[in-house]
Chain A
Amino acid sequence: MAQTPYAYFPGCTLHGTMLEYNASARLVCEAAGVDLRELKDWNCCGAWSAHTTDYMLGLALPARNLQKAEAMQLPMVVPCAVGFSRMKLAMHEMENPAVLSAVNQAIDKPFKNSVVVEPLLKVLASDSLDLEVKKPLQGLKVACYYGCLLVRPQKILKFDDENNPQTMDKLMSRLGAEPVDWDFKTECCGAGMSMPRPDVVNRLSSKILLAARSMGADCIAVACPMCHFNLDFHQREVEAERKEKIQMPALYFTQLMGLALGFSAKKLMLDKHLVDPMPMLKSKGMAA
């Protein structure tokens, strides 16, 4: 299959605790003809902390990566919603020439702010990709969760509708699954509060988990490592506080895509989640 090249910015968590997102993204991209060329020596985008406490740092950290993609003359693709949002919002700030020139000095590299940046979800949901669905996700009810940073603010990110996004839902339908219609697609999961204020994450992610359950979803599909952490890792604490089992698996959309394209649960690292999705997938005949 013809391969379309992209400059790949995985982001820190995909090389850290969220290896399964990176692994499943790479498998699916290869099968779909998306050629991921990882940026050499990329650095942390600064996530929530840089822009929050230091204006210039919040721009310079994304810019060092953007400059690398610009030099490669390729569009940048970002699997992490946090990284995607930081790249796009920094580029928006740098439309001001004075800001751009200050950032150029900070990174000590010539950067023209002329990169195309796309979320991996958009690239993999493109109708133009030739996807060979070997094992349709028949009978799987998926609650597609987009969170905040992938879609808001729409006028800058220019990706999907910020109130009722559809990209992941359409992709899941294409794979044979049944996306549920729910109100929590873009509700906040508590973002970076996991460490400093875990109670905030527990409170917000519990609402999302319960909403997905009430809609009869078998699992939640996510496109962000931070959302995944808040919905999967924090579920134990939510269950303890509520004194009830929820056991709502949260899977990366690339893992569900991978299953439909015929990759094994092992290759897709479905064993990495704290809420084990295997019993559910087995009961649906989607994993051995």
Chain B
Amino acid sequence: MQMAGAITPVASSEFLDYVGKQSGQRIMDCYQCGKCSAGCPTAYDMDLTPRQMIRAIQLGLKEEALKSSTIWMCVSCQTCSVRCPVQIDIAKAIEAVRLLAVAEKAPAAEKNVKLYHQVFLKSVEFTGRLYEMGLSVAFNMLSRHPFTGMDILPTMLRKGKLALMPVFKGTAEVEAIFARIKR
């Protein structure tokens, strides 16, 4: 059963339980066949393959899981999930680990992937839609200058500094959704 609402920190001893509940998956059913890893398009560059990630969750290795590159290298293609012989939605389990890593502000092994998501969502928060040119300008700037904080983005977006702003009337409504979710 999926939990609704904000994700709060969990202790290592609660990690398996948290992933199971948040993802709605029976993690202990995994018998390590490796089919998930075999079909994963990005496993070649993960420190924990999808199979190893599921094992880490079973063993309660929270820290290893949260700092893994796996949670950022996964592109949510769902290949693993549809192939698992015991119907574990591995992508969803990995997502639960990632959501916890975000909530606990664990350092991201793939900094640029996390930065991309942050910049993308800032753009949506302040413009309602994805503005691709703005996204690429902001991403390039921030990935090259990691010490320039994310806090500059709202100002740049509001001032229309990221080139032409899209015309979209629903902006305030979308901003209000972000505010209600209190990120």
Q: List A residues at the B interface (Cβ < 8 Å).
A: 12-13, 15-17, 41-44, 46-57, 60-61, 64, 93, 96, 98-99, 101-102, 105-108, 148-149, 152-154, 162, 187-188, 190-193, 195-197, 200, 204
With contacts A55-B7, A96-B4, A196-B115 taken as known, whether A204 is within 8 angstroms of B41 at the C-beta atoms is yes
Q: Kindly identify which residue among B42, B79, B110, B135 contacts A152, using a CB–CB cutoff of 8 Å.
A: B79
A-B contact pairs, 30 of them (CB 8 A): A41-B169, A43-B129, A43-B173, A48-B76, A48-B117, A49-B116, A49-B120, A50-B121, A51-B95, A52-B95, A52-B98, A53-B118, A54-B99, A54-B121, A54-B183, A57-B178, A57-B183, A61-B174, A64-B177, A96-B4, A98-B4, A99-B4, A106-B180, A106-B181, A149-B78, A154-B82, A192-B116, A193-B75, A195-B135, A196-B116
Nearest B residue to A162 via CB reads B82
Cα–Cα, bound, A50→B124 (Å): 10
Which B residues form the contact surface with A (CB < 8 A)?
1-2, 4-7, 22, 41-42, 45, 73, 75-79, 81-82, 89, 95, 98-99, 102, 110, 112-118, 120-121, 124, 128-133, 135-136, 139, 143, 166, 168-170, 173-174, 176-178, 180-181, 183
- A96 touches which of B1, B89, B98, B180 (Cβ 8 Å): B1
With A93-B2, A98-B4, A195-B136 already in contact, the answer to whether A44 and B128 are too (CB < 8 A) is: yes
Query: Lowest 5 A-B CB distances belong to which pairs?
Result: A41-B170, A152-B78, A191-B75, A12-B130, A49-B117
From known contacts A43-B124, A196-B113, infer whether A56 and B181 are also in contact, taking CB-CB under 8 Å. Answer: yes
User: Beyond A43-B128, A44-B129, A48-B117, is A61–B4 a contact (Cβ under 8 Å)?
Assistant: no
Q: Measured between alpha carbons, how far is A102 from B170 in the docked complex, in Å?
A: 21
Is there an interface contact between B82 and A188, defined as CB atoms closer than 8 Å? no
- Contact among B73, B128, B143, B177 for A60, CB-based, below 8 A: B177
A42 close to B170 (CB less than 8 A):
yes
Residue from the list A99, A152, A196 in contact with B112, Cβ < 8 A: A196
Cβ–Cβ contact B139 & A192, under 8 A: no
Residues of B within 8 A of A149 (CB): 77-78
Question: How distant is the Cα of A105 from the Cα of B180 in the complex, in angstroms?
Answer: 8
Q: Could you tell me if A54 and B102 are in contact, using CB atoms closer than 8 angstroms?
A: yes
Check A16–B174 contact: CB distance below 8 A: no
Interchain CB contact under 8 A, A64 and B173: yes
Contacts of A61 in B (CB 8 A): 124, 174, 177
Pick from B98, B170, B176 the residue with the most CB of A within 10 Å: B170
Contact between chains at A107 and B177 (CB < 8 Å) = yes
**Which residues from A are CB-within-8-Å of B81?**
152-153
Given A43-B124, A148-B78, A191-B77, check contact A53 B99 (CB 8 Å).
Answer: yes
Q: Report the separation of the CA atoms of residues A41 and B174 in the bound assembly, to the nearest whole angstrom.
A: 10
> In the complex, what distance in Å separates the CA atom of A118 from the CA atom of B5?
28
The answer to whether A187 and B112 have CB atoms under 8 Å apart is no
- The distance from the CB of A12 to the nearest CB of chain B, in whole angstroms, is 4
| Closest chain B CB from A253 CB (angstroms) | 20
Whether A56 pairs with B5 at a CB distance below 8 angstroms is yes
**One of B117, B131, B173 near A16 (C-beta < 8 A):** B131
- Contact (Cβ within 8 A) B41 A41: no
Q: Which residues on the B side are within 8 Å of A17 (C-beta)?
A: 132
Chain B residues with CB under 8 A of A49: 116-117, 120-121, 124
Specify which chain A residues have a CB less than 8 angstroms from the CB of B129 in the assembled complex: 12, 15, 43-44
